[in-house]
Copies of this chain bind each other. A is one copy, B any other.
Amino acid sequence: MSSRRPASIPSSGPGATSTRERIIGAAINLFNQNGVPSVPMHKLAAELGMSPGNLAYHFKSKRDVVAAIFPLLEDQMRGVLKPPGIRVSPRSAAEYQIEIFRTLWRFRFFFNGLVGLLGADPTGLAKRYMRFQDWVISTLDDLLVGLVGHGDMRTIAAPNTTHLVATNMWMLWLSWLRFAQLVSPDMAMVEDAAIYDGALRHFSLMQPYYGREFAGRLLVELQRALGQENKGSAAARDLPSARVKL
């Protein structure tokens, strides 16, 4: 997919690559902690122990940094959204979901800042994002069609459609990220608790289409992987019956 990201191709040798990568890594961390509007370029430079002029040599503006991060986000999301390709077990479904939620979490500043980042944008990021989002939703749609076709999920009865459910999945995931930021503005929420929250929101959306046994076992696998049997994430407090019944 290198044709999609000319901005992230290093223009010279390995030294340049490494500096670029270091800048991008620090930017992702700072953006996630503080939100993009609260991270001026000089703060990013200071974090890197770099002069503002040196940083400007690599990235002229914050918008350029964000534009260089987007292809990483896109590649990683394309990677984790690829369907497992085997028959679904509660464990493989839990692992698949957790990888998706970890990736969304890794780039949460981007999704939480969408409206600001895509507005009045000269870099074409808005169009690239909308194409990416369409791809995500149609991939999820295909996944649902496949699961129903293999008997791994109940049919989504008309007039509802797999496409509407796929869109709701995506909307809910992004809402989950935003709620985590609202509840914990410095985004200090422990990652596994946040991931478990997202997984439970998703579980609640999709449970009507799961078999009863599959639903129960999926929840056990999510709890096992994320260590949330006894800890109280916000969503876990909403789920007393799960703790009693499983």
A residues apposed to B, CB below 8 Å: 35, 37, 112-116, 118-119, 126, 130, 157-161, 163-165, 167-168, 171-172, 174-176, 178-179, 181-183, 185, 200-201, 203-205, 207-209, 212, 215-216, 219, 235, 238-242, 245-246
- Do residues B158 and A168 form an inter-chain contact, with CB atoms below 8 A? no
B37 touches A116 (CB 8 A): yes
17 A-B pairs with C-beta separation under 8 A: A35-B115, A118-B185, A130-B182, A159-B215, A159-B239, A159-B242, A160-B203, A160-B215, A161-B239, A161-B241, A164-B200, A164-B204, A168-B201, A172-B175, A174-B175, A205-B205, A208-B208
How far, in Å, is A126 (CB) from chain B's closest CB? 8
**Interface of chain A, main secondary structure:** helix
Say yes or no: A185 contacts B35, CB within 8 Å. no
Neighbouring B residues of A167 by C-beta, 8 Å = 201, 204, 235, 238
Give Cα A112 to B115, complex, Å.
Answer: 8
A105 to B168, CA, bound (A): 19
Q: Are A216 and B159 in contact (CB under 8 A)?
A: yes
Question: What is the distance, in angstroms, from A93's C-beta to the closest C-beta of chain B?
Answer: 15
Q: CB-CB < 8 A to A183: which residues of B? A: 130
**Which residues of B have CB within 8 Å of A242?**
158-159
**Bound Cα distance A164, B208 (Å):** 13
A18, B18: Cα distance in complex, Å: 61
Give chain B residues whose Cβ lies under 8 Å from the Cβ of A215.
157, 159-160
Contacting residues, chain B, for A114 (C-beta < 8 A) = 178, 182
Q: How far is the CB of A110 from chain B (nearest CB, A)?
A: 13
B246 adjacent to A178 (CB under 8 Å): no
Option from B118, B165, B185 in Cβ contact (under 8 Å) with A119 = B185
Alpha-carbon gap, A64 to B24, bound state (A) = 37
Min CB gap A94→B, angstroms: 14
Which chain B residue has the least Cβ–Cβ distance from A212? B157
A53: min CB distance to chain B, Å: 29
Whether B35 and A160, one on each chain, are in contact in the complex, defined by CB atoms closer than 8 angstroms, is no
Contact A204 B241 (CB under 8 A): no
Closest B-chain residue to A160, C-beta based?
Answer: B207
Residue of B nearest to A235 (CB): B164
Chain B residues, CB < 8 A from A171: 171-172, 175-176, 179, 201
